[in-house]
Amino acid sequence: MPAIMSSARRSAPLSTAPSATPSPNLPVAAGDAIACDLFCAVIDNFGDIGVCWRLARQLTSEHGWQVRLFVDDLHAFRKLCPALDVSRSRQAVSGIVIEHWREPAHVGDTLEVADVVIEAFGCELPHVYVAAMARRERAPVWLNLEYLSAEDWVADFHLRQSPHSRYPLTKTFFFPGLAAGTGGVLKERHLDAARAAFEASPQAREAWWRQTTGQPAPGPEVTVISLFSYENPALDSLLGQWSESADPIVLLVPEGRISAAVARFFGLPSFAAGSHAGRGKLRAHALAFTDQAGYDALLWASHFNFVRGEDSFVRAQWAARPFVWHIYPQSDDAHLPKLDAALAHYAGPLPAPARAALGRFWHAWNGVGEPDWADFSGPRALFEQRAAAWAQELAGLGDLAGNLAGFAKSQLK
């Protein structure tokens, strides 16, 4: 069995020196760094690791925590963190220790049981680690970070506790959400200032366009749309509408699951990063997969943003631009009530015609009906106003990392 080390990771070595018994685990004193282990299994795409990487960095940089991140797929992770060396089982990036979680039982050669243990999105902790948690003199704060949902029931289940069936441990469910009584969503303290600086600087925007697309920034008459999506049968219709638009449209497409369909529309064998294509009023640029900071800039550079899953859905809201959400599809259309719940929060204050147009388009993009760009883009000014107002309302909930850190500290007193 791996050795067990105390939570005092600030002095704990990265070696495999054994420890016969855990050291006493006293309450965390004011000013002491909180040690946190964050476990992430990359189920599909980049959403799971995207959220976990943001959370790990924010807990480290803004709250002074010492975070160790367990990830089972370093290759997927490296897309978001180019500094990562996929050949190393343990390394430090941005002040965060990263462990390659190679198999369910593996938690590193030395067990360092943290003050706070975060089990992201229901991934099952290794049994040996749970047993080590139970042997600790002071049990860690154990949080199950759930997926984001805007449904009403989330507030009722946020911070509910579940005792372990075998050990004297209690897990607390921490739910992100879009309403009061939930954990909120991730937002770094510097984000608004960074967006404002980008928007206020023509030089920064011009430099971004030339570096990202190889082209100058388009003029004010052009509508810029970013497209980050799962495969979508509605895409051909929408591309056709954009190509026949009265006004020019520039489409920015991060390389990924939608690229093959874009290539087919333009009659190209592929639409890899660096590719350009045009038809009618539509001009499209294929972008290289970017890190998270680069994706934020893409959202800020666009007038409309098509996003997918959870992480980009949240970032689109902070970008304060109109957006369209491709929610992760589930069997029996179980995702549609979640889509409607988000619409209720986001679109509720809009005038009825604009609210209906937004709902029709979101549903069409998610397989219910046909997308009508003219119908959707007509109330653009109202959507822009609502996007800015919603970002302020959402910020009123506090950010997820801050809310989580505050709760954990209250349990460690």
Residues 352 and 212 in one domain: yes
Residues 169 and 292 in one domain: no
Mean pLDDT of 307-314: 94
**48 catalytic residue (yes or no):** yes
- CA distances, 115 to each of 62, 112, 213 (Å): 17, 10, 45
381-395 pLDDT tens trace:
999 999 999 999 999
Residues 234 and 358 in one domain: yes
Residues 176 and 226 in one domain: no
The domain that holds 355 is classified in CATH as: 3.40.50.2000
Percent of the chain with pLDDT over 70: 90
pLDDT tier, 107 (very low <50, low <70, confident <90, very high otherwise): low
Strands 276-279 and 282-287, sheet pairing:
antiparallel
On the 0-12 / 13-18 / 19+ scale of CB atoms within 10 A, 190 is exposed
Q: CA–CA separation, 173 vs 153, rounded Å?
A: 13
Q: CA–CA separation, 114 vs 295, rounded Å?
A: 32
Percent of the chain with pLDDT over 90: 80
Strands 323-326 and 304-308, sheet pairing:
parallel
Q: CA–CA separation, 177 vs 373, rounded Å?
A: 29
Residues 23 and 61 in one domain: yes
Task: Note the helical H segments in 136-234.
Answer: 153-157, 191-200, 202-213
Catalytic residue, chosen from 48, 112, 188, 399, is 48
Helix (H) or strand (E) holding 328: none
- In degrees, rounded to 5, the angle at the alpha carbon of residue 369 between the alpha carbons of residues 277 and 322 is 60
pLDDT tier, 333 (very low <50, low <70, confident <90, very high otherwise): confident
Catalytic residue, chosen from 37, 99, 112, 310, is 310
The answer, yes or no, to whether residue 22 has pLDDT greater than 60, is no
Helix (H) or strand (E) holding 261: helix 259-265
Mean pLDDT of 47-69: 95
> Strand 323-326's sheet: what is its strand order?
276-279, 282-287, 249-254, 223-227, 304-308, 323-326
Asked if 76 contacts 289 with a C-beta cutoff of 8 angstroms, the reply is: no
Q: What is the mean pLDDT of the chain?
A: 90
Report the number of distinct structural domains present in the chain. 2
Quote the pLDDT of residue 43. Answer: 75
Residues 147 and 271 in one domain: no
Residues 404 and 313 in one domain: no
Residues 98 and 75 in one domain: yes
Residues 309 and 361 in one domain: yes
171-188 pLDDT tens trace:
999 999 999 999 999 999
Residues 403 and 362 in one domain: no
**310 catalytic residue (yes or no):** yes
Residues 173 and 254 in one domain: no
Residue 304 Cα to chain centre, angstroms: 19
Residues 178 and 212 in one domain: no
| Owning domain of residue 368 | 191-395
